[in-house]
Amino acid sequence: MNQFVYAMLTTTALAWGMSAYAQVMNCADEIRRVDAALARATQLDPQRVAEVRSLRNEASKLQAEGKTVECLATIERAKAILGLR
């Protein structure tokens, strides 16, 4: 019985760790998508571009601090301005 409990705890910990890693990588991928869209954004109002850059920088800072959920929320706001899904 103890081996079963140990196996379940280990499996749960590994799944949680993989999920956290996937979220961090997702945030980095989304930041790269915003960077690519900014490079192509020639029709965007300069004020909007500045707002997107600010949100992108904030998301990058949040990612570095390990605040993945906040990072994803911030980058989603930037993507909405750019019209990305």
The better pLDDT of the pair 8, 22 is held by 8
Tens of pLDDT, residue by residue over 43-80, are: 888 898 899 999 999 999 999 998 888 999 999 999 99
The pTM of this model reads 0.68
* Predicted pLDDT of residue 18: 46
Task: For tokens 């019985």, name the residue.
Answer: 1
The overall average pLDDT reported for the chain is: 80
Identify which of 41, 26, 46 has the alpha carbon closest to the alpha carbon of residue 82. 41
Residue 67, SS3 per DSSP: coil
Residue ranges of alpha helices (H) inside 1-85 are 2-40, 46-64, 68-82
31: Cβ contacts below 8 Å, ≥ 6 apart? 56, 59, 60, 63, 75
Percent above pLDDT 90 for the chain: 36
Distance from C-alpha of 40 to C-alpha of 18, rounded to nearest angstrom? 33
